[in-house]
Amino acid sequence: MQLQKAKRKSVKLRMSLAAPSGFGKTIGALSIAYGITKDWDKIAVIDTENESASLYSDHTIKKTGFHIGEFLTLPIKPPFTPEKYSQAIKVCEDAGVEVIIIDSITHVWNGQGGLLEDNNKLGGSFQSWAKTTPRYQKWLDSILQSSCHIITTNRKKQGYEVTKENNKTKVEKVGMEDQIRDGYDYEMTIALDIINNNHLCVASKDRTGLFSDVPEFVITEEVGETIKNWCESGIDEKKLAIEEMSKSSDIDQLKEIWSKYKSLQTDKDFVAIKDKRKNELEGQS
């Protein structure tokens, strides 16, 4: 046992890349992954899309000239259970992969054997989520606690809102909705939305500050390089967690933040700060 100087830790990327089908989620994810690693042998795609990611192997994108090498793939088939996803992540970690792309996470939510289907089998009631939610959380933890950089893709679809006007029911479009549980993007370091078939994207969530207030841009490997530099710049995870706790608005949000930083839960100072914030929030209620 020996005292040593505390060192700032680097962090692993947790990214969500969302778009409707055909907008370039897979190519975007591969571009970022290569910008991070510069080694196709260190990139693995967990493929739920009928092995469609493999179509891009050893392929050059005409528009940009970017050449996609021979990356690793791990196809998974229905049923798309959260446990199967978590097992696939573990296989990639054990193989020494540096960047895992999960293409896509949509199936764990509303695919065959996904969480919505299983919840409906349990009756589809509010009480059914008492069994479904822990499985979702365990799956999410396997992403948040991974030793690898992880990029997840998910589909977007047109959202609708039903309203009444003069005793008539109206259905109105209200933008695009992610095909994953609400709040998922809150857990990510960066969430990018590809907004058209020209592959332009914007940041819907960005803890790094790299893409905040940045005009629409096309994802390239240089984007991955920029993210890598941020990840390795020695961001203090504990400082980041404390900042999030200080901004928590209620006990439930505080619990979410606490569960996300499992590696800090044995840190006495961190526990003390959590307890202090909990007392503050309870005093406000």
Per-residue pLDDT of the chain (285 residues; tens, 9 = 90+): 445 455 546 789 999 999 988 889 999 999 999 999 999 999 999 999 888 888 888 888 887 888 999 999 999 999 999 999 999 999 999 999 999 999 989 999 999 999 999 999 988 888 889 999 999 999 999 999 998 999 999 988 654 455 666 666 654 544 457 778 888 998 999 999 998 888 899 999 998 889 988 899 999 999 999 999 998 886 667 778 888 889 888 999 999 988 888 777 877 888 899 999 999 998 886
Write the CATH number for 87.
3.40.50
The answer to whether the beta carbons of residues 277 and 254 sit under 8 Å apart is yes
Q: Are residues 264 and 143 in the same domain?
A: no
Q: Are residues 231 and 249 in the same domain?
A: no
Domain contains 39: yes
Q: Which long-range contacts (CB under 8 A, 24 or more apart) does 72-76 make?
A: 72/41, 72/43, 72/44, 72/45, 72/97, 73/44, 73/45, 73/47, 74/44, 74/45, 74/46, 74/47, 75/47, 75/48, 75/51, 76/46, 76/47, 76/48
Q: Are residues 242 and 113 in the same domain?
A: no
Q: What is the pLDDT of residue 149?
A: 95
Q: What is the pLDDT of residue 212?
A: 82
Give Cα 48 distance to the centre of its chain. Answer: 16
How many domains in the chain? 2
Query: Which residues does residue 161 pair with via DSSP β-bridges, in sequence order?
Result: 172
Q: Are residues 155 and 204 in the same domain?
A: yes
Q: What is the pLDDT of residue 170?
A: 55
Domain contains 157: yes
Q: Are residues 219 and 276 in the same domain?
A: no
* Nearby residues of 112 by Cβ (< 8 Å), 6 or more positions away: 78, 79, 80
SS3 222: helix
Q: Are residues 165 and 221 in the same domain?
A: yes
Torsion of CA 26, 134, 205, 223, to 10 degrees: -30
Domain contains 3: no
Indicate the pTM of the whole model.
Answer: 0.75
Q: Which helix (H) or strand (E) holds 279?
A: helix 268-284
Q: How many CB atoms lie within 10 A of CB 138?
A: 12
Q: What is the pLDDT of residue 270?
A: 85
Q: How many CB atoms lie within 10 A of CB 203?
A: 18
Domain range enclosing 84: 14-235
Q: Are residues 264 and 200 in the same domain?
A: no
Q: What is the pLDDT of residue 172?
A: 55
